[in-house]
Amino acid sequence: MKNIKVQKLTPEAFAPYGQVLTVEGREAGGNPASHFWYPQVVVLDHPTSINLMRVVPREFTVKDFEAHDQTTENLIAMDGDLIVAVAAAGDLKEETVAAFYVPCGLGVSFAPSVWHYVPFPMGKDVMCACIFKNNTSHDDIHFDALPETLGLEL
């Protein structure tokens, strides 16, 4: 089985697949005595649903992917660290598969049509927020599989 090296999550490394949901490099508003406000990190222009997903530990392998053509999918690691596996939009190809380490409290926004896999938690169940166009998981979901399973190497 071929292995894919898990990469550090940076805006530059993740750019082919979407954007990193982070406050790094953003100017904060708000009142520093009580809060720092970072508006419009991602703007969705359609009815939106906020979904919760608890992912459970399992073997770090990928084969089956999904994509959504009409929306971004925004995934936030709420109470633990994650690994996300992605592949470039278009035909699902092994050579475009990448994996990223997403620390607790950060997130990613998969661009429309980018292939992705259910995230992998690091060491324990992890709750995630998943935000996208309402009914995406029913009306705008496509599946494909790689010819062979790939391992993810930390």
Q: What is the pLDDT of residue 27?
A: 86
CATH for 3-153 (2.60.120.480, 3.40.1160.10, 3.90.1170.30, 2.40.30.130): 2.60.120.480
Residues of the chain falling short of pLDDT 50:
none
Q: What is the pLDDT of residue 12?
A: 94
Distances in whole angstroms, Cα of residue 34 to Cα of each of 30, 78, 104: 8, 21, 22
Indicate the domain borders of the chain: 3-153
